[in-house]
Structures are given as structure tokens and as C-alpha cells.
Structure 1
Amino acid sequence: MKDSKIAIYVTEAYYLKEQLYGVSGHVQIPLKTTSLLSEKNINVDFITTKPKGANHLMIDLSENVKIKTVLHSTKKWPKKGVSLFRSFIQIVQLIILIKKENYSLIHFFGGYKTGMVAVISKLIFANKRVFFSPISEPEQIYTGSGFNFFRNLDLIISNSEFVAQKWKSFVGEHKSVVIKPGIVKNIIPIFNDGQRDIILFWRNADYNNGADIMISIVKQLAPVFKRKKFVFAIRPGSEFEHSINELSFKFTNVFVYIHPYENQITIEKLLSQSLLVIAPYRKLSINPQISILESLFAGVPVVASNVESNNEVIQHGITGIIVGINDSKDYVRSIKKLLFDPEFLRKLRENSIKQTREKYNWNSYIDHLKKIYSGN
């Protein structure tokens, strides 16, 4: 490994300065990985794409890290998908770069499109080690096609047991492992029980994130807990933004913050004042969901749906509560129970800080990754 030259690849690592608050988890982990490898004096390059006007990385990488870019092909949010022509150019540029730099190991991070780029790279450069860290379980486009080129990859490195197990059934037991990351943001838990009065939802207010479920929860609980604040911290243009704004007009204890937040509001500040984070997700954008990890790191118990990796990140009854998917009544019951039992809530808060940080941290992550890279 000492003489190896490694490349870390992820799309869209560059952001506009004003958007650095919301860097995707699929970008945070490879950025931090690159930074940690560099600190260990490992020869590593960082390859990414650069959307128009975006010039800022969430982490300032060492001068020892060479940052390479290939053509950006992803459509601008809220649009989804990629430009096929630009994707083709992107892959050609990447193949030329891999050949020129003569990397011995290329580690791809991302979703199924990035996974396909990893497969293409392995098919062309059979003598190089190619790893893929997927954000979710194998897409049906893979599993239903009858072709399984992913078996050609050297290893699938997941960040959750849920994803690792799903990939094991697809590529084989020995080709899927899990290493659990920490968080990138420097979130420090603040012990101010007397000042905590917020029940917080902080995600894009769309269907997959269960914004409609949260609306139903708030309609039932806001009239009951009038001294509690029900806060939505969301992106502009979200699917349920209008309905959430209507809630804030109906109830005086419902507040909506749309980024960029005003009055010096930050997610860190909201977390420091929160009793609970509510995460009624139907589908996760990444496993583990970084917003849940960050909430637990801040010492805020999370009430979340039993979807994908949530039940391994949240320990039911210890660091938070797991409820049924789409079950707003179960959410209401669970939240009421916690709000009526402050001692139990305090215990969950203490556990969420200690146990989550023990389980998810960068020291064990990078030690494990180095062993994998070394072939151990």
C-alpha cells in the first residue's frame, strides 16, 4: 500500500458557497475518507465533477491531495437524472485519467449510476482493484437484468449492515463488507434540558421523507402540546412546502424555516434546542441517513420509521424509537409517551450521545479501510 496510488471518486463534490450547509451524505463520506487517507501519508487523488458555478468543497483537502475533475452530467436539483451525452463524455474522460495516472486502486462512492461506472472501469482495467461503496441496496435495474457484472468488482464496501447484506446476496458473501463512518460536521451536544422545547423535522419536505406524515403528526399534537414548538427546517421548493406553511398559519406553535435560514438560525442551533427529531422516512437517500446520525450525535433522540438501515442506527428504546412505516398513529403515540415521560427522554438523550459515537466514528472507519486497501 505504501507504493500504491489510490483514487477516490464521487460525483458533484463541489457546491456553491451558500449551499455548503446541505452537502449530500454521499459526498461527505468520500471527502472525509480522502482527507483521512492523506493524513496517514497515503498517496490519494480525489476525482469528482463540478457543477456550473460551484467552487467550494465541504472539507479543505491537504495540498498533498490532487483534485481531478471530469465532466458533470447530473441535472440540477430539483430535476432528476443525467444527460446521456455528458455521461458518455464523463466516462471517457475518467478512463483516460485512470490510464494516465496509473492508479492501482479506484474506490467509487455513490448510487447505481456511479456503480455502473465502477463496473465499466473494472472491465477495462482488469488488473486494477476497483471498489464500490453504494448508498443503498442493489437497484432492480441490476437484480432484474439477468446480468451481474458487479461480481467483477473486487469489493463492495457498505456503510450499513442493511446494505451490506443486500449486496452479499447479489455479489457473494466474500465480496461485501461493512465499515461504519462518523459524521463530518462538528456537532457538539449541548446539555440544556430546560431550554429544549422543539420537535424538529429537518429534511426536504417530500413524499420519500414523509413530510405528509409529519404534517399529520403536527395537526394532532400541536393543539395538545401548546408549549412545545413544532419546527420544519426545509429546502425551498419542496413538495409539501405550501401545506407546511398553511400549518404555521393555523397553529401559533408551528414554525417553518426555509433555507437560507434567517435570524441566525442553523441546524446546529435547532438541534441544541430540540427534544426530539422526527424522521418518518419512506426511503433513505443514503445508508445510514446522515441527518439521523447528526441528530443522535447532538444528543437528540430520533423517532423514525422502520425502513432500511434505521433500526441499526437507532437502538429502539435506547437512543430513540422505531415505528411502522406510514403509521402516523404510531408516531403520535410514541411522541406522546416521550413528552409525558421527561426522565425516559433524558435517558435516551444520554444514550444517543455515548452509544452512537462509540459505534460510528472515523478512527475505526479509517483503520478498517486501510486494512481492506492493504488486502488484509
Structure 2
Amino acid sequence: MTAQAPAAVSAGRELLEPALRATVDRLDRPMREIASYHFGWTDETGAPVPPALRSTGKALRPALVLLAARAADDDPRPALPGAVAVELVHAFSLLHDDIMDGDRTRRHRPAAWTVFGTPAAILCGDALLALSHEVLLETGTAGGHRAARALAGATARLITGQALDLEFERRARISLAECLRMAAGKTAALLACSCSLGPLLCEAPEPLPGALAAFGSDLGVAFQLTDDLLGIWGAPEVTGKPAGNDLRARKKSLPVTAALNAGTAESERLAEVLGRPGVPSEADVREAARLVEAAGGRAWTEAEAAARVASARAHLDGVDMPDRVRADLLELADYVTTRSR
């Protein structure tokens, strides 16, 4: 059963889409066509996709920007450039990730690089990244400049995390600490930034931006932990990718890393299965999933995700914000680890 997205996510998506579309329309035609396809607005031919048939993302990061802005001000609209900017950076990362990982599907349809070609998809990601910083700097405010610096730092950490992920593919073993450090960069950096951009654009003083960034950092690790569970046990109709996709790609995700470091007979057997040359058979994928669970990888990941959500909640204790906003942030934190798997 799929958890219902919180109302704050749906509201954020509704506020975001017109501004995001207007921003993407500023791109030159070839990049605009790829971006529109990636965001689910058009099909491979450039024809509009009816709203009821669109396969779009959760827009979690923009929702966090706007919700965090409400913690500082009743009106989230001054933070809308931040919501657009983080969604552009997220899209940049997904366009590049699909190429690096060889993932041929994204949101239940062919990934952009399989439709438009690898070079064009890379360039589109680059264009979206450049555009994200323009959007913030064009606010012309001190808060906008602080937000642009924060986003640049988060993007650098995201890239470092992705580089670590690629490095892990060449190594037989990695530690859990290394894997968590990778997740803190690849996923948590942008979620932490999303939570800080709202207060920054509203020019709220500390401790609010710092507390919300810490909330977002723990939430980001919990998000990655849950994504890694979905990468092994998620249903294709939910994830948009084949079941066991991460094992098929031999990704050293957090459940796999926990299982490999458990020191059990199942750990050694898992290392042997994942180390076999050639493309894993479907029997190997099923066996690897069983061994990850038997070695405790699934249980550790679920427990760590719950612990990270608890830590995220604790960062909000004692911080002054409206009760409704606090409740929405906590609901969103719970949603992150209750997505269907």
C-alpha cells in the first residue's frame, strides 16, 4: 500500500508548476524539449501529456522550501524562486544519474537519455543547473544571494556523493560509515538545502535556517535509506523500475552494505553472488535479495531510517514556528519512510 502524500507536498506542487514551467520556457528549444519531457509535461514527440496521464516526481524538495518559508513567514511566495531552483538541481542530478547508472526508465517511462541521446541529456542537465542559480540571483535580494551560495555548496556536496557512489562500484567492500557519508552528500545535501532556502529567502535570523537544515539533513538520509529498500523490494508499479533493480546493477546500497558487513555466512554468500562475472540472472537477483534480508540488511536499514526520522524531529524541538507548520514538517518526515515498499 502506498502512503498518501501529505497535503503540503500537493500544495507545494501546485504552487511550483506554473513558475517551473515559465523558467524552463527560457531555455533554447532543444534543451526545453528534453526538460519538458523529463518533467512529464510532453511525450517523445513534444506533444503535451494530459494531466491525468502525467508521470511526475513527488516535488518533495520544493515542498520543503515552501513549507520551511512558512516557518518564517505566513506567505511562502518569496521563497518560490528557491522551490524552482532546487527542483532544477534535482532534475539535473536525475538526468545525469540515469546515464551514469544505465537506468533506462524514469517515472514509468523511458529515461530522457534513451529518447534524446546521451550527449543531449547531459547538456540539458547542465542547462538546468545553470538556470537554477540564475533564478536565485535574479531576486536581487541579500536573501537570494545567500540562497544561491547555499545551493552552490549543496550541489558540490551532491556531486561529491555521486562520485563516491561511482567509486564504490570499483571496490569489493566498503564500510557502512562510507556508505552513509555518500548518502549524506548524494541525497541529504539537497534536502538540507531545501529546508534552509525558505528561511534564507525570507531573511529569517538564526536559529531557524540552521535548525531546518539539520532537520533536512537527517530527513535526506532517511529518504535514501527508504529509496534503497525500494531499489530491492519496491514494486515496479510504484518505483517505475524493475524489482531488484539495484541488485541487478550490483549497487552497493545501504541494505547491501549492511548485509556485507554483518560478518555472517549469508554475508559471504552474498559477496559471492554479487561478485559473479557477467549480467546477474534473475535467479541471482532473487537469491541476493534473500541473502540481504537474511544477513540483516533490510532490518538495519528500516531501523536506521526510523532513527534518522526521530533525529530530524528532534531538531525542531524548541525552535519557534507556527504549530501548523511544525505538524506539516513532521507529517512529511513520516511520509518519507512510509512510501510503499
TM-score tier (shorter): 0.3 to 0.5
More helix by share: 2
Question: TM-score with structure 1 length normalisation?
Answer: 0.31
RCO greater where, 1 or 2, for CA within 8 Å and sep 6 or more? Answer: 2
Larger Rg: 1
Question: TM-score with structure 2 length normalisation?
Answer: 0.34
